[in-house]
Structure 1
């Protein structure tokens, strides 16, 4: 099956940018064909929504850039290298990367994406005969768990006061969502099974192995100062002053400590980026070393910068035309009290192709799913988690969230998607069982 899907995606799956363009044209046609929207209106919806993800695109670009900068500091690089020594064989490499990435994504999705990719590169250097593509797919498989973890946007949204549905459902504590028996069952099964599923896929590596040799070499060492302190200009001495980095680095870390004292362990994407940035400044020791690393890091963010606006345009068409509402309503119409959580999950998985943002997807589907759940006497907490897991589920075959990892890995989406299809198919089983039979 893996060989079949790999050949399929290698032959027919275009570059991630073209995937976004084709998806744009598909949604444009669907909007005209299945809603009352005219071509002119669809163009308007597309253009109006095109820049709605600018802040998010900047966040994801920074998670790649700051993660790369931090990973290339001597301290973190040595830490990842020590962790990678736990893997002596290709099988151990797959297990280590899979479990570490999944555990990190349960803490924070941005942190997990970057850590998984960077650890995979270090492990590939230590075990060069491992299938590099499968290793990166294993790192990405951990992202399947993010919406059931501490940074899950839907359960955290409905747990806050004054969220947009608070008048209808009130505040839903995370004890009923993230720490429910249903969610803990899914997280436990996937956390245990995914590393061994990826290990099983290693049997195909003889046919699919494709290591990126450039990335397997050690990163370029930080440039040694060519001039002595006496020969430097005042500007050069400032650029190579550790005092400057220590001062601004400690200032940044002071805010991080203040933030956690005030808000608890709220690892949102902004604080993760903030932490990565100032640790990178501090650990690189001088502004010049830091800036050299920045110049290398920004090369990895191009795909994110250019593709996220297209997905924002797709979201704009889906929401404004009513397409997303039609999709969700159809699943509601065929549901019973028993099947509703499963159909909510499947509908969320489909909508996720066109609205690949957990918070954005909840804003689109919640006004339909929550009233339907209340009419069918289904738990709103379970409904919310069904939508959350649907969002996570099809991320395995939607390249939107893979872009940061692929940028770090130096791979294309078709290089890992054959493996991800198998992960996608397997994960449907434990998630469906939990939604149908566990509260």
Structure 2
């Protein structure tokens, strides 16, 4: 237990302790944020036939120069009920089915229409751009439109509904209990005594989890008491994941480990080669995973980002639950990295990134000012302005 686990190894071990949750069917319109459990195959063809991509007149491509006799209209949802003969045109709106016999569209802006006579006043469309969407050009019956592990968002909801699916196969939302502990903590709305601070980690973690489908319960703040912690952990027997905040280090008042022993939980690993957040603790009790985060707010935030959020995405069935990294150009120099992986709170403007003024693990103002984490692997060489570094993007705020 004295060896510090590398971040990637610690995350892999954590995820191995929890299986994806049981599947359930959820109304498609309510599935935002969930992850698909199976391939989703289309039940329909879209477009069902050739359709117009512009407002204009449906004609035969062989007669693209016109003129034409107007014989009717094909509107979206109300197609023309007769074939188009030689020399004929039909008024057509965007998204409407082409009449039988038509294979091109001349746009309204390039035509003059007087009575039932339509003439070309502009350039005819080229053979490659005749403003026709081919049948099945979006998807056809039997096509896989979404892969397992895909996160469902607005576009995926629209696609699934268009493909004929009113319900989607997803995983049950995890039940998560967040426990704040520490004699120094004062609940929001109460008057703190001398030396106390307001408890903020629980609400912060709940807000981090909010974009994911979860059932979150907050407990505390609890006093520094083994019994209080053990009772809270024991009372959360129906939770899939328990998250404690504070009390995971080695001080006299760090009581999460003995509390876990009292309830019979099995410690899997403790301490990770990460800065901030070294005292991270992971235990299990049956199928339940217990994640002990540090108490300092920046440490709790960073370790929740690196471990708690991937764990929740994993049990929800994400294909790749790990946080994504993107390259960015460094604005200010950084010295050689230390022996632990470092996650520097930083500001990213869409192009360059710079660390915020302080990296203290208790600095909330600096954390709130950050919208990215600069990733520094153990022993990384010093880097200069203009060099490329890798960052995680946070949901902490807008780009400056």
Query: Does the pair score TM above 0.5?
Result: no
* TM-score (norm. length: structure 1): 0.21
Q: Which has the higher contact order (CA 8 A, sep 6+)?
A: 1
From the two aligned structures, give the one with the greater helix fraction: 1
Higher CA-based Rg: 2
From the two aligned structures, give the one with the greater strand fraction: 2
* TM-score (norm. length: structure 2): 0.22
